[in-house]
Amino acid sequence: MALTLAALAKTAQAQLRGDPDRLIDSVATLQDAHPGAISFLANPKYRAYLETTRASAVILDAENAGLCPVDCLISDNPYLAHARVMAALYPEPRYPAGIDGSAVVDPSARVAPTASIGAQSFVGAGAEIGEDVIVGPGCMVMEGATIGAGSRLVAMVTLCHGTVLGRRCLVHPGAVIGGDGFGLANDAGRWVKVQQVGRAVLGDDVEVGSCTSIDRGAIEDTVIADGVKLDSQVHIAHNVKVGEHTAMAGCAAVAGSSTIGSHCTIAGGAGLTGHIELADHVHVSGATAVTRSIRKPGVYTGTVPAIEHADWLKNFARLRHLDDLARRIKSLERELAALRQQHDKAGD
């Protein structure tokens, strides 16, 4: 669809400089843009492409607006403005309300008349599907699961029994929410399964990436609070609590009964051991292993254990000179041995 720059400026909450009636029909990168497209500059590494861009307009901040050769939308947060423009130009597809003829819906399930149940999906006994919910093809909504209004399961998503999904959630293909946690008791070397009787409870506006798994609680619930964003292939173990608006990147993993505060970020490949707590506004760098509770906001980096980011940078700077330090120590040890030998001879 095409929109005027004036309409996009209002949507993006940005200041317009240029022709308000200019039509924009697509989004492209600065280097690959074409007339009719809008681009954005959020990372200064791409500033070199601004001068030669063929875009009809660019979203950028006031500092770079003077360098822009075309119309622009000026924002304090160009990437956020870009997100709003993307949503306007590429709206989510609309799905017809109703139940596909190949879907299986238990008679005791409650499905809102405005919901859409896709092909070959299954809705179990006692499940509740709210208004304007989209259950895509091949999804499994097991018995007693609840989906809040406006949420969407893209395709091949599994919500296990009793799972609660809030409003306006987005769950990508292959995600499994509410599967059993890893609970096992040892009986003389043999493993005995411990029944997992809690639920997985997700708040409003949560996004769950492809092939991510969120385990149900062992006794109490696993809880993912409002606004949490989980990337693909993230694992949340049983009884974990994740605070509001925390984001976790791909392949991050949280072991059982850990608590993560609000507005935290967990970068890709990071791992948290069980039964620890992270304060609000803790930011864990990629591949970091967190083995103890972190009580103070900040950036943490490292392996075992994680330390404050500034300390890690200083230690890593020294680590780069480790070979040189080792050679110098050996040289000093040889000199010391020679001095001791001379001292011993003098004593004789």
Catalytic site residues? 238
Residue type, 141: V
CA angle 220, 280, 309 (to 5 degrees): 125
Q: Which residues pair with 78 in a beta bridge?
A: none
In angstroms, what CA-CA distances link 344 with 46, 159, 259, 333, 340?
68, 79, 62, 16, 6
Residue 29 · residue 86 · CB < 8 Å: no
The first and second tokens of residue 68, run together, are 């822009």
Q: Treating both helix axes as pointing N-terminal to C-terminal, what angle do 309-319 and 322-347 enclose, rounded to 10 degrees?
A: 60
Number of Cβ within 10 Å of residue 136's Cβ equals 20
Q: Which residues pair with 165 in a beta bridge?
A: 147
- Inter-residue long-range contacts of 75-84, CB under 8 Å, 24+ positions, other chains counted: 75/12, 75/13, 75/14, 75/15, 78/40, 78/41, 78/42, 79/40, 79/42, 81/12, 81/13, 81/14, 81/40, 82/12, 82/27, 82/40, 82/42, 84/11, 84/12, 84/13
In angstroms, what CA-CA distances link 310 with 74, 116, 263?
34, 50, 20
Give rounded-to-5 percent helix, strand, coil for the chain: 20, 30, 50
Q: Which residues pair with 248 in a beta bridge?
A: 230, 266
CA angle 253, 254, 257 (to 5 degrees): 160
Q: Which residues pair with 202 in a beta bridge?
A: 224
